[in-house]
Amino acid sequence: MVTGLLVIGLVGWWWSPKGVEVVRIVDGDNVVLADGREIRYINVDTPEVGECFRDESTEINRQMVLGKKVRIEYDYDKIGPYGRELAYVWVTRNGKEMMVNEYLLARGVGEFQVDNNNTKYLDRLVEAARIGHEEEKGKWSQCGGETGCVIKGNLDKDDHRWYHLPEFRHYDQVVMRLDLRDRWFCSEAEAVKAKFERARE
Based on the fold, state whether residues 107 and 130 are members of the same structural domain: yes
* pLDDT tens for each residue of 25-51: 999 999 999 999 999 999 999 999 999
Q: Which of 142, 157, 180 is the last residue of a domain?
A: 142
Based on the fold, state whether residues 123 and 154 are members of the same structural domain: no
CB atoms within 10 A of CB 57: 26
What band does 8 get if pLDDT is binned at 50, 70 and 90? very low
Based on the fold, state whether residues 168 and 92 are members of the same structural domain: no
* Residue 154 DSSP code: E
End-to-end CA distance of the chain: give it in Å, rounded.
Answer: 68
Domains in the chain, number: 2
Based on the fold, state whether residues 163 and 194 are members of the same structural domain: yes
Based on the fold, state whether residues 67 and 138 are members of the same structural domain: yes
Residue 79 lies in a domain: yes
Give pLDDT, residue 18: 66
pTM of the predicted model as reported, rounded to 2 decimal places: 0.88
Q: Which domain holds residue 112?
A: 15-142
Residue 50 lies in a domain: yes
- CA dist 3 → 9, 10, 13 (Å): 10, 11, 15
Question: Rounded to an integer, what distance in angstroms lies between the CA atom of residue 43 and that of residue 116?
Answer: 10
Based on the fold, state whether residues 122 and 197 are members of the same structural domain: no
Based on the fold, state whether residues 135 and 162 are members of the same structural domain: no
Based on the fold, state whether residues 118 and 184 are members of the same structural domain: no
Q: Residue 82 in contact with residue 110, Cβ under 8 Å? A: no
| 7: pLDDT strictly greater than 60 | no
Based on the fold, state whether residues 120 and 152 are members of the same structural domain: no
CATH of the domain at 80: 2.40.50.90
Based on the fold, state whether residues 39 and 131 are members of the same structural domain: yes
User: Residue 51 — φ and ψ, nearest 5°?
Assistant: -95, 155
Q: Which of 91, 122, 142 is the last residue of a domain?
A: 142
Based on the fold, state whether residues 27 and 126 are members of the same structural domain: yes
Q: Residue 161 in contact with residue 193, Cβ under 8 Å? A: no
Residue 110 lies in a domain: yes
* pLDDT tens for each residue of 156-194: 989 999 999 999 999 999 999 999 999 999 999 999 999
Give pLDDT, residue 148: 95
Q: What is the DSSP string of 100-128?
A: HHHHHHHTTSSEE---SS--TTHHHHHHH
3-state DSSP assignment of residue 12 = helix
Backbone Cα Rg of the chain: 19
